[in-house]
Amino acid sequence: MVDATAKTVTLTLSRAVARGEVVILKYAKPVSAPVVQDAAGNDAASFDDQAVTNNTPETTDNTPAVTDATPPVISTATVTGDQLVLTYTEANNLDGAALAGNAGFTVRSPNGAAITVTGAVVNASAKTVTLTLSRAVTPSEVVVVKYAKPASEHVVQDAAGNDAASFDDQAVTNNTPATPDNTPPVISTAVVTGSHLVITYTEANSLHGAALTGNAGFTVRSSTGTAITVTGAVVNAKIKTVTLVLSRTVTHGEVVVVKYAKPASGPMVQDAAGNDAASFDDQAVTNNTPETTDNTPPVISTTTVIGNQLVLTYTEANSLDGAALPGNAGFTVRNSTGTAITVTGIVVNAMAKTVTLTLSRAVTSDETLTLSYTKPASGDNAIRDAAGNPAANSGPQTVDNLTPAPNHRVDSDGVSDTEEDQAIGPAGALTGDGNGDGIPDSAQAAVASFSATTSRSSTSLTLVADSHDGKVPSGSNARITGLEQKAVPTQTPRALEMPIALTSFQAALDTAGSSETFSLYVDPQMDVNGYWLQDNTDTWVNLASSPYGGRMVDQGGRLRLDFQIKDGGPFDADDAADGVITAPGAAGNMPLSIVGQAPDGVQDGFLL
């Protein structure tokens, strides 16, 4: 008898071997018919005169052996999918002889519908009979099993030949796991406000949070048929949305539709289980862009240059038109000798109301620049607001040069140059320039970057001290003296999520007791809504919110968290006005209706 699971072959001899008797075993593989082999079909090799260990006990008992007359009894029954296993109570083993057909077993659900038994397999040593069903049992389905002993041969019995008794409607434990998610996400709504179109999906779980590239398969067009370019797509896995960034603002009352053609390869919209969202055609979009009678053109407010990046900030009631601008778009940059510096690229951030000019070379720290703007006479490449008002011409105006002197202070932030040189910055910045100022972070004392570990992989973070819109003024003496990732503390509010754990830093100031402005650059895919820090009353507060003088800014595809901390104030962890700020804070996420929240043990710890 072969026991496949135990990997044994049991031979039944014509007589009992006496204690002390020496026997040997020989195997000659048959030329045909069944042979000993493994599950893969490999035949066991022949062998000659194998010594046999004799375990027959010595006995002086002249009492006849007791014959096993007790039949096996059903003990338990469990089902997983289409496999129903019955376990028997039996002093010895079951008979391992093959069973035919359904072997007398029937299975049904409570409503009486039968589930056909297509096979039955005995495991003699494990004392089980496994029934194969014609279909899988669902996770919540209740089934019972019944056994009617066949009238002739192929019955369940023990090795002594005692037949198992028939039984009726034995309860079966259902171990079938819940059905996996095979349902793809389906588009629910599409809403546009200005230049942002938000698509919400219906999905039982969550979307896959992987970054999407390019237009990610989405196209948007107005009712006239004119396409509106999709310049980016951002997934929010938890709230099941995809936000499309459009090349221009959709006007109030404009009718637009969105279409999705699933990409053949690469990143695509899918749920967390990996089910791809289906393509769809001409989905109607709800237009929430407000009506406006804005007739006031945008006006230049500030101009700053760091390295080869010259940033203009505009005063504008709403937002700028985010359409791409070719060439120099009417801008002229000159140094103090009158020599022109070519404008090689222009990026408009509509929501931040900034225009960033990329120059053909980096500006030195002691160089004086002037900027002029002449609205192009033709074409659609003028600076204008979302309402279509073009910016007026402006004569030469001096640009505030924030470019620091080369190696103006020693970088002592504790992060290796090798790690800082891998920093990811805003669009257009070189690797290693986390704040996009045209200067490597490893060469600046007030800028530090490192790679933080997340639950999935890692992410690049950049901290700027003495920050002016993410840049460091040329005369600044602020220094970051430490920057590292620390574990989430045990006492934190349940509602506060910290995908990057704690971003702990120390910064040295010029004046003890003064306030300092910081900027922390993070990947917007981290889904954070502020920089959260615990004050000296153990309350967690979002310093990157307007009540605390902070803000959040989209800068070239990076999320910039601006916040202020006073040396020795309630958010300085060293509790001393000693010219050093210590801040173990976190880029995190808490419901937007809450500004701050205390740990669970603190009564009335919400700040609304």
Residue 303 pLDDT greater than 90, yes or no:
yes
Q: Report residue 441: phi and psi, to 5°.
A: -60, -30
Residue 47 pLDDT greater than 70, yes or no:
yes
pLDDT of residue 439: 87
420 touches 432 (CB < 8 A): yes
pTM score, whole prediction: 0.39
pLDDT of residue 597: 44
Residue 466 pLDDT greater than 90, yes or no:
yes
Mean pLDDT of the chain: 87
Residues forming a β-bridge with 94 = 158
pLDDT of residue 59: 53
Q: How many C-beta neighbours within 10 Å does residue 5 have?
A: 10
pLDDT band, residue 385 (cuts 50/70/90) = confident
Residue 334 pLDDT greater than 90, yes or no:
yes
DSSP string, 524-588: GGG---EEEEE-TTS-EEETTSGGGT-EEEEETTEEEEEEEEETTSTT-TT-S-SSEEEEEEEEE
d(CA 230, CA 235): 14
pLDDT band, residue 223 (cuts 50/70/90) = confident
pLDDT exceeding 90 applies to what percent of the chain? Answer: 50
pLDDT band, residue 23 (cuts 50/70/90) = confident
518 touches 448 (CB < 8 A): no
Among 12-16, 115-119, 213-217, the minimum mean pLDDT is found in: 12-16
285 touches 246 (CB < 8 A): no
pLDDT of residue 424: 94
575 touches 513 (CB < 8 A): no
Q: Across residues 307-330, what is the average pLDDT? A: 89
pLDDT of residue 406: 59
pLDDT of residue 593: 45
Left if phi > 0, otherwise alpha if psi is -120 to 50, otherwise beta: which for 528? beta
Task: Using alpha carbons, select from 231, 68, 22 the residue that is nearest to residue 160.
Answer: 68
d(CA 551, CA 570): 19
Three-state SS at 420: helix
> 């402005």: which residue's tokens?
517
pLDDT band, residue 102 (cuts 50/70/90) = very high
- Strand order through the sheet with 551-555: 447-453, 458-465, 515-522, 558-566, 551-555
Could you report the per-residue pLDDT of 420-454, keeping only the tens digit for each? 989 999 998 888 999 998 888 888 889 999 999 88
Q: How many C-beta neighbours within 10 Å does residue 524 have?
A: 16
d(CA 26, CA 43): 16
pLDDT of residue 299: 94
> 């279409």: which residue's tokens?
259
Residue 285 pLDDT greater than 60, yes or no:
yes
> 């002739």: which residue's tokens?
152
578 touches 588 (CB < 8 A): no
pLDDT band, residue 527 (cuts 50/70/90) = confident
Task: Using alpha carbons, select from 403, 340, 348 the residue that is nearest to residue 370.
Answer: 340
Which tokens sit at 522? Answer: 């993070």
DSSP string, 422-486: T---STTPPTT-TT-SSS-GGG-TTEEEEEEE-SSSEEEEEEEES-BTTB--TT---EEEEEEEE
Domains of the chain by start residue, with CATH: 186-287 (2.60.40.1220), 299-401 (2.60.40.1220), 417-607 (no CATH)
pLDDT band, residue 253 (cuts 50/70/90) = confident
Q: How many C-beta neighbours within 10 Å does residue 163 have?
A: 14
| Greater pLDDT, 42 or 337 | 337
pLDDT band, residue 6 (cuts 50/70/90) = low
| Strand duo 299-306 + 394-401: pairing | parallel
pLDDT of residue 35: 82
Q: How many C-beta neighbours within 10 Å does residue 348 have?
A: 22
pLDDT of residue 145: 95
pLDDT of residue 493: 84
DSSP string, 280-339: EEEEE-EE-PPP----PPPEEEEEEEETTEEEEEEE-SS-B------TTTTEEEEETTS-
Which tokens sit at 359? Answer: 């120059």
DSSP string, 250-280: PPTT--EEEEE---SSSS--BBTT-PBPPPE
d(CA 47, CA 129): 33
Which secondary structure element, helix H or strand E, spans residue 603, and what is its range? none
| Strand duo 196-202 + 186-193: pairing | antiparallel
278 touches 262 (CB < 8 A): yes
d(CA 245, CA 197): 7
311 touches 356 (CB < 8 A): yes
Residue 594 pLDDT greater than 60, yes or no:
no
116-125 long-range contacts, CB within 8 A, separation 24+: 122/94, 122/95, 122/96, 122/97, 122/98, 122/156, 123/3, 123/5, 123/94, 123/96, 124/1, 124/3, 124/93, 124/94, 124/95, 124/96, 124/159, 125/3, 125/5, 125/6, 125/93
d(CA 49, CA 23): 9
